[in-house]
Amino acid sequence: MKSVRPITLNNTLSGKKELFVPLKKGKVTMYNCGPTVYDFAHIGNFRTYIMSDTIRRVFEYEGLKMKQAMNITDVDDKTIRRSLEEGVTLETLTAKYEKLFWEDMESLNILKPHKILGARDHVKDMIKMISVLLKKGIAYKTADGIYVSIDKVKNYGVLARLKIANTDSGTTGQANHEHGRIANDEYDKENPRDFAIWKFSANKDSAEEDETVAWNAPFGCGRPGWHIECSAMSIKALGKTIDIHTGATDLIFPHHTNEIAQSESATGKTFVNYWIHGGFMNVEDEKMSKSKGNFLKLADLVAEQISPIAFRYWVLTSHYRSQVNFSFDAVRAAQTALLKLCEEIIRWGEEEKIDTKAKTGKLKRIAKIAPDETYKKEFETAITDDFNMPQAVATMWKVTKDPALSPAEKKTTILDFDKVLGLRLADISTISTSPILKKEEIPLEVTVLAEARLAARLAKDWPKADALRAEIESRGFSVKDTEQGFTIEEL
């Protein structure tokens, strides 16, 4: 077995790059804050899931065994509000958006976490945790719910570097709750307050008679707050202490801050050793918001002929912690680069065949070629240095341009890198159905063929152009010449 290369990562808790040391040698536990399924996820959310997928792929590439869990928030303020607005049950609403979420994840080639936990299925675990917090005097009851007293929590707000005045850090008997209380799941960082972990329903005594979403609990009928959901599910899936917890930076406060408060108060143990947070995404230089109409779904990109895999590739070209600006022009440029790479891979495949034929006189599987050592080392240096994917992508391009490597060596090296990049490059070289776009869209290799045909036309190589047209038509598409180049249509 190869020895594991040291992996460094930026830990939000310390604010520094640290050497990763797992709890159990050779194994990694990771929890990703999952989607709240009340609407489509937007492309900023998917950037964060591409980050966690990349982290998993890097660890696996380096020979560590991953156990990855993700929650589905299917009950909270947002889901309940939306189900009432749409006049559908919470189950109907969340089932619809959860299904769409996994479809988008699949088209981005994001690996499914080993454990997926729906919040509604784990209310029992949340009730148990709330009972412990009440018993320990960390949580208290009011008329509308159960709250965590932040004054009772040891080191409250460390992750977000909060400055809290007059806290007694749980050293005195009676909490004074002078920070006030907040029942909402989301609130402002400037205003840390006691937060709700359980919200009583109108009828506190019985879940059955209540028309809202509610569960019976020893402390009164109601429903969990968002923050307690992740604490209970992370512990349930992966244990009291885990290696890594991820999310976008906007989750540092209050969500992750409150997760730490609840979990560590309840178990008395460190909740998470390494916190990893992904940077923010603007769209065309503006913050994404529904009112501005720049709230982009993956389907909006596909409608603009941008492949989800091209979006993934574009995401990998900036560091996960940096703030990025999405623009259609930038992603189109990334798609063009990716198409070029696919073209190269197809060409290498062809050259490899010709090469083999010349040597053996017949088409035969060539001997297994290993990835190029020097580039592999360079690639691994990048990915194990706080998941430096832009650097890793740069190394990949260096491979494509190195005249010292044979086509077969290039192809083998790049397909090896693709275990981490996740660009489905292994599919592009062989299959005739679409590896990158969904079926109803134009497959990437058809576009590649059409581009090759355009090049042949410009070079006035008519036989080649005709052969390529036949090739495109054999895949169920027609190509028409235009002044700008070509258009492709389904036959």
- The residues binding Zn ion (CB under 5 A) are 33, 230
Q: Which is nearer to Zn ion, 55 or 230 (CB)?
A: 230
Q: Which is nearer to Zn ion, 30 or 444 (CB)?
A: 30
Burial 190-205 (b: 16+ CB within 10 A, else e): eebbbbbbbbbbebbe
Smallest distance, Zn ion to C-beta of residue 279, A? 18
Smallest distance, Zn ion to C-beta of residue 243, A? 16
Cβ atoms of 217 and 203 within 8 Å: the answer is no
DSSP SS3 for 184: coil
Smallest distance, Zn ion to C-beta of residue 281, A? 19
DSSP string, 418-441: HHHH---HHHHTT-SS-SSS-TTS
Token pair for 170: 């749980």
Q: Which is nearer to Zn ion, 245 or 410 (CB)?
A: 245
Closest among 324, 319, 322, 323 to 387, alpha carbons compared? 319
Q: Which is nearer to Zn ion, 38 or 417 (CB)?
A: 38
Token pair for 370: 């290993």
Smallest distance, Zn ion to C-beta of residue 171, A? 29
CB atoms within 10 A of CB 110: 21
Smallest distance, Zn ion to C-beta of residue 299, A? 25
In SS3 terms, 225-248 reads as CHHHHHHHHHHHHHCCCEEEEEEE
Smallest distance, Zn ion to C-beta of residue 184, A? 16
Residue 192 per-residue DSSP state: -
Q: Which is nearer to Zn ion, 150 or 230 (CB)?
A: 230
Q: Which is nearer to Zn ion, 70 or 217 (CB)?
A: 70
DSSP SS3 for 72: strand
Q: Which is nearer to Zn ion, 257 or 447 (CB)?
A: 257
Measured CA to CA, the distance from residue 236 to residue 162 in angstroms comes to: 28
- DSSP bridge pairs for 32: 70, 246
Q: Which is nearer to Zn ion, 228 or 437 (CB)?
A: 228
Smallest distance, Zn ion to C-beta of residue 33, A? 3
Quote helix, strand, coil % in the chain, to nearest 5: 45, 15, 40
Token pair for 98: 């959860």
Smallest distance, Zn ion to C-beta of residue 255, A? 6
Residue 3 per-residue DSSP state: P
Smallest distance, Zn ion to C-beta of residue 253, A? 13
Q: Which is nearer to Zn ion, 156 or 314 (CB)?
A: 156
Cβ atoms of 194 and 261 within 8 Å: the answer is no
How far are the Cα atoms of 82, 302, 331 from residue 288, in angstroms, in the given order?
Answer: 20, 18, 17
Smallest distance, Zn ion to C-beta of residue 430, A? 40
Strand pairing report for 181-182 and 194-200: parallel
CB atoms within 10 A of CB 325: 13
Residue 205 per-residue DSSP state: S
Token pair for 112: 């499914």
Q: Which is nearer to Zn ion, 56 or 256 (CB)?
A: 256
Q: Which is nearer to Zn ion, 126 or 468 (CB)?
A: 126
10 Å CB burial of residue 186 (0-12, 13-18, 19+) is middle
Measured CA to CA, the distance from residue 103 to residue 83 in angstroms comes to: 21
Smallest distance, Zn ion to C-beta of residue 32, A? 8
Q: Which is nearer to Zn ion, 262 or 318 (CB)?
A: 262
Smallest distance, Zn ion to C-beta of residue 273, A? 17
Measured CA to CA, the distance from residue 427 to residue 1 in angstroms comes to: 28
Closest among 193, 188, 187, 101 to 148, alpha carbons compared? 193
Burial 387-399 (b: 16+ CB within 10 A, else e): bbbebbbebbeeb
Element (H, E) at 301: helix 298-303
Smallest distance, Zn ion to C-beta of residue 275, A? 12
Q: Which is nearer to Zn ion, 41 or 221 (CB)?
A: 41
